[in-house]
Amino acid sequence: MEPENKGVRGSQLKNMIIKKLYFNKAMSCAGLSELFDKSIPSIAKAINELMHEGFVVEDGYAPSSGGRRPLMYSVKANAMYILAIALDQLTARIQLFDLLNNPVADMLTFELKLLNNSEALGQLLEQINIYIKQTDIPKDKIAGIGIGMPGFVNVTEGINYTYLDAGGQSLTEYFTDQTGIDTYIDNDSSLIALAEQKFGIAKAQKEVMVINLGWGIGLGMIVNGKLFRGHNGFAGELSHIPVTEDGALCECGKRGCLEAEASLLVVAQKAVAGIKQGRITSLKYNINDHSKLMGDAILEAANNGDQFAIELLSDAGYKIGKALAILVHIMNPAIIVLSGRGAKVAKILMAPIQQAIHKYCIPRLSAGTELLVSELGFDAELIGASVLVMENFDKSVKAKVSKAKKAIAK
């Protein structure tokens, strides 16, 4: 294993140990020693301090492989908490997790339209502060806030160029200042890809394309084991790959984009149009609902065998498969994961997606790519938001362990 961060000391080393135990569940002193290129006594000393401070617990002995079994250590679940927030174009979800990614409070879900809504930022902040207060968890025990959101997100500057304008201030600074808790933002599809790689079906895989099936169609790219962002940080705009020359007009101003042809919002619009034209379907009872409720109704109806809903999703799946064929030719991934809200109907989407891939892909390329369905599903973005916080845990400007230690002592 390649050594990491030689020469780290004291609290930084302890932060790094907490971070690694979060991602690896349980490790031995020897494993941590090899990982950080530090002596076993140094690691043991840091572990003992973390146990005394209430951050690490013994996790039993590793399975026998001949010889003495090493004692394993893991993070203490309730030593700190993570506030995860998942946004899409229409809805916000807020969930508090412990360090084992277990929910420790009820999830808050509320409507939050991002497009052309100048009040969205203030509305989101208000709900975050209300949620934190209701959980009754001290802020100094919250390791950070992670927010996943659609749009063109510059992670370095903390700015979303599409939604949530903070008047020139970075969103990370805005939320950190207004909540008193370190906050990190990222594109929703990127966080879903991180969740799948760290805790999902693509765990430890190095070449993975994760498709976020939702109101839009996003792409998170894991290349050589790391999230690939491209030159300006905007890599992965699968939704704006053209799948037809004279298709519907997309919000980006171009015609025939995948998102304008196959996103769940478009499927919902097609459902309403079909019902008005006389199509027989159980969806007729939802025709007066807005796009979100119709979209959710389509997923439910399709899984219950509604023929019209299945036709709509199959058509969308074929177009998604056509775009994925382009992706396979360019990236040659080992795995493509169908994740996000649409993973709920992945069994219906798989056949038309595969059909399009077979039609448009060179067999030698497509034969080496496996199409999988997420086990995290709609929870992937929330898990990814937690991952985002812990990815930055040992880089924070605040001494998080020191803060949490004081909170534990109260």
pLDDT at position 409: 56
Give long-range contacts, CB 8 A cutoff, 24+ apart: 89-93: 89/113, 89/114, 89/115, 89/150, 89/215, 89/216, 89/265, 90/114, 90/215, 90/291, 90/292, 91/292, 92/124, 92/127, 93/381, 93/382
Amino acid at 304: N
- pLDDT on residue 253: 79
Number of structural domains in the chain: 3
CATH code, 38:
1.10.10.10
Q: Please check whether residue 196 lies inside any domain of the structure.
A: no
Q: Do 208 and 322 share a domain, yes or no?
A: yes
> Furthest-apart CA pair in the chain: how many Å?
75
Q: How many CB atoms lie within 10 A of CB 116?
A: 7
Show the 3-state SS of the chain: CCCCCCCCCHHHHHHHHHHHHHHHCCEEHHHHHHHHCCCHHHHHHHHHHHHHHCCEEEEEECCCCCCCCCEEEEECCCCCEEEEEEECCCEEEEEEEECCCCECCCCEEEECCCCCCCCHHHHHHHHHHHHHHHHCCCHHHEEEEEEEECCCEECCCCEECCCCCCCCCCHHHHHHHHHCCCEEEEEHHHHHHHHHHHHCCCCCCCCEEEEEECCCEEEEEEECCEECCCCCCCCCCHHHCECCCCCCECCCCCECEHHHHHCHHHHHHHHHHHHHCCCCCHHHHHCCCCHHHHHHHHHHHHHCCCHHHHHHHHHHHHHHHHHHHHHHHHHCCCEEEEECHHHHHHHHHHHHHHHHHHHHCCHHHHCCCEEEECCCHHHHHHHHHHHHHHHCHHHCCCCHHHHHHHHHHC
User: Do residues 56 and 116 share a domain?
Assistant: no
Same domain, 229 and 365: yes
Q: Please answer whether residues 27 and 20 qualify as being in contact, where contact means their C-beta atoms are separated by less than 8 angstroms.
A: yes
pLDDT for position 356: 96
Examine the domain organization and report whether 70 and 85 are in the same domain: no
> Of 75, 100, 117, which residue constitutes the final position of a domain?
75
Assigned domain for 261 exists: yes
* Domain identity same for 370 and 280: yes
- Residue 4 belongs to some domain of the structure: no
Is residue 67 in a domain?
A: yes
Indicate whether 314 belongs to any domain. Answer: yes
Within a domain: 1: no
* Statement to judge: residues 155 and 226 lie in one domain: no
Q: Do both 238 and 368 map to the same domain?
A: yes
**pLDDT score for 373:** 95
pLDDT (0 to 100) of residue 398: 44
Paired residues of 72 in beta bridges: 28
Boundary residue ending a domain (75, 96, 129): 75
CA torsion, points 7, 9, 14, 16, in degrees to nearest 10?
-30
Q: What is the pLDDT of residue 408?
A: 54
**Residue 56 is assigned to a structural domain of this protein:** yes
- Determine the structural domain holding residue 174 and report its residue range: 81-191+382-409
Looking at the fold, whether 34 and 104 belong to one and the same domain comes out as no
Q: What is the pLDDT of residue 212?
A: 95
Looking at the fold, whether 48 and 89 belong to one and the same domain comes out as: no
Residue 400 domain flag: yes
CATH number at residue 116: 3.30.420.40
CA distance 49 to 405: 11
Last residue of some domain: 26, 60, 75?
75
Same-domain pairing of 342 and 223: yes
Residue 19's CB is within 10 A of a number of other CB atoms, namely 18
Cβ atoms of 185 and 198 closer than 8 Å: no
Query: What pLDDT is attached to residue 56?
Result: 96
Asked if 351 contacts 176 with a C-beta cutoff of 8 angstroms, the reply is no
Q: 86 and 45, same structural domain?
A: no
Q: Which of 127, 164, 50, 114 is nearest to 408 (CA)?
A: 50
The pTM assigned to this predicted structure is 0.89
Asked if 67 and 163 sit in the same domain, the reply is: no
Instruction: For residue 320, give the nearest of 359, 236, 262 by alpha carbon.
Output: 262
Per-residue model confidence as pLDDT tens for the chain (410 residues) = 334 444 445 688 999 999 999 999 899 999 999 999 999 999 999 999 999 999 999 999 888 666 788 999 999 999 999 999 999 999 999 999 999 999 999 999 999 999 999 999 999 999 999 999 999 999 999 999 999 999 999 998 999 999 999 988 999 999 999 999 999 999 999 999 999 999 999 998 899 999 999 888 999 999 999 999 888 788 888 888 888 888 888 888 788 899 999 999 999 999 999 999 999 999 988 777 667 788 889 999 999 999 999 999 999 999 999 999 999 999 999 999 999 999 999 999 999 999 999 999 999 999 989 999 999 999 999 999 999 999 998 775 444 444 554 555 55
Q: Cα–Cα distance between 228 and 236 in angstroms, integer?
A: 8
